[in-house]
Amino acid sequence: MNFWNDAYRTRPPWEIGRPQPAFVELLRRGDLKQGSVLDVGCGTGENALFFAQNGFLVTGVDVAENALEVARSRSAERGLKVGFKQENALSLDFKGDDFDNVIDSGLFHTFSDEDRPIFTAEIARVLRSDGRYFMLCFSEKEPTGWGGPRRVTRKEIEDAFLPLFHINYIREELFQTRIHDRGGQAYLTSATKNLTPRLI
């Protein structure tokens, strides 16, 4: 966890100082349910603040206190009310059925194979029935030469989410960073929490 806090001692490459265009587009298309949003792995909070500015009740969680400090001061500067809390996304301190939407910009792709099902179960738990999850992650089409987090395939997304979610779409998108000119090759996933898990 210190790894992440240390990453924010300088400005990390994913800290672009504005919301990810893929999430701005989600709002424009009306893909989110009205109500509340949890931003998991919110970093410095630009996506969380964007949704707050657009009428959602937003909570942002991250393990990195250095990132949360920046997020809180931006929130205060802009006069927005967002709860930024230090939390581990693999064991969230919420009672369950808490949020209408969860957004994830670059968190899922940091998890190991073992942590993926723990994470998806946590997301399903904190989402209300019919709640929606939106996730942006690097895809296998993004070259690995520059390093960065793991690349994720469509099948891996399906394997991780299908047991508990209905996948609405997995779309090719760009992930903006400060080291890409146009953005990295990514997938935008939209998934809805399954009301009735299939009995297999």
Binding-site ranges for ligand SAH (CB under 6 A): 4, 14-15, 41-43, 47, 61-64, 67, 88-90, 105-107, 110
Least Å distance between CB 128 and ligand SAH?
21
In the bound state with ligand SAH, the residue whose beta carbon lies nearer, of 112 and 196, is 112
Task: Tell me the three state secondary structure of residue 79.
Answer: coil
Least Å distance between CB 115 and ligand SAH?
8
Least Å distance between CB 189 and ligand SAH?
15
Tokens of 44: 């410095």
In the bound state with ligand SAH, the residue whose beta carbon lies nearer, of 71 and 191, is 71
Q: What distances in angstroms separate CA 139 from CA 36, 57, 150, 170, 187, one per listed residue? A: 28, 30, 8, 11, 6
Least Å distance between CB 39 and ligand SAH?
7
DSSP 109-147: GGS-TTHHHHHHHHHHHHEEEEEEEEEEEEBTTS-STT-
